[in-house]
Every structure is written in C-alpha cells, then in structure tokens.
C-alpha cells in the first residue's frame, strides 16, 4: 500500500533540494513518487510540480464508495422495474445495469469528493505563513518513517499523511 505524506517547507530553495533528494529515491525500493508543491492557497509554485486536487480532497475515497452505492442502486432499480423475459436476458440486464450504476456512482462520488477537502490538512495549510510551501510525497508504506526523516533533515515539518486506497487509480 502507498502512503501520501504532507509537509510544510519554509522556502523554494528547500523545496528544490527536497525534490532532488526524493528524486534519488524514486528508483529504489522506497518507490517514492512526487513530490508535488503548492503555496498557501493551492497556488502553483513556479518550476515545481503542481498538486493534484485528489491529493488534498476525498475524491478517490468517495469515488470508490460511489461504485458500490451505484451498483446497489442499479441492482435495486432492475429488480423493481426490470422485465424478466428469459433467464439470460435478466442476467444481462442485471450485469449491464449494475455496471452502469457503478460507473455513474464512481463519477458522482468523484465529483462530490473534490469539493470536500481534508480537514486537518486544510487547517494546517491555512496557518502557513506567506512564502511557505505545502509538499506532498508518495512512498511505499514501509518507508514512511525514513521519508519523513529525510524531509525533516532538510527543514520540512510533517503535517499529515494518509494511505492511498488504490495507488494506480487516478483520474486523467
């Protein structure tokens, strides 16, 4: 499982140094990805990778929940309003409706999730001084502490962290 770690950095020079040090770990067993940076109000930092909205909101979590809710609603709808002509036709109708419901639920869940920011992270980010940066780095869960230590040595302060449910489940 992957972990997203959130840090506060004091300046752009430290951010570039952290990017270089974490870039060295990218091909190792720690499998560090990122880092991504933003200023106080999620404004991009010149020359540094920008934060994706899904890294600071509950987009993926609600999208996954939406899959299940949509599938259940689709199953209930086909059982209530579906017409059973034959067993094979009913099975195809159930599979199609559940799939469509799951896809719609995934989409709606993702839309709702982008509007809900991570509360602790938002509070910490609002308290940041002008010039400070928010940095997000992803790593393998086993290397979470060593990644935190590396950033701490560079002057970064750990704000928050959360496990990424499906690390390759990203919206394009």
Per-residue confidence in pLDDT tens, the chain, 172 aa:
677 788 888 888 888 888 777 777 666 665 777 788 887 777 777 778 888 878 888 888 899 999 999 999 999 998 888 766 777 888 888 899 999 999 999 999 999 998 888 877 777 777 777 878 888 888 777 777 877 887 888 777 777 776 665 544 443 3
CATH of 2-55+131-164, one of 3.90.180.10, 3.60.10.10, 3.30.70.260, 3.40.1400.10: 3.30.70.260
The pLDDT value given to residue 172: 33
pTM over 0.85: no
d(CA 24, CA 22): 5
Query: Alpha helices of 3-140 — where are they, by DSSP H?
Result: 12-25, 59-81, 87-113, 119-126
pLDDT at residue 168, rounded to an integer: 46
């Amino acid at each position: 499982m992957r972990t997203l770690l959130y840090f506060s950095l004091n300046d752009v020079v430290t951010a570039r140094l952290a990017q270089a040090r974490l870039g060295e770990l990218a091909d190792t067993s720690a499998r560090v990805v990122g880092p991504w940076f933003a200023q106080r109000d999620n404004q991009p930092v010149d020359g540094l990778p920008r934060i994706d909205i899904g890294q600071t909101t509950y987009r993926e979590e609600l999208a996954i929940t939406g899959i299940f809710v949509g599938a259940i609603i689709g199953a209930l709808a086909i059982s209530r309003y579906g017409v059973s002509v034959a067993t094979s036709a009913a099975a195809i109708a159930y599979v199609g409706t559940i799939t469509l419901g799951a896809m719609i639920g995934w989409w709606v869940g993702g839309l709702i999730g982008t509007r809900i920011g991570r509360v602790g992270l938002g509070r910490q980010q609002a308290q940041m001084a002008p010039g400070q940066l928010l940095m997000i780095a992803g790593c393998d869960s086993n290397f979470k502490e060593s990644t935190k230590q590396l950033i701490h040595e560079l002057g970064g302060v750990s704000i928050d962290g959360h496990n990424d449910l499906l690390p390759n489940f990203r919206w394009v």
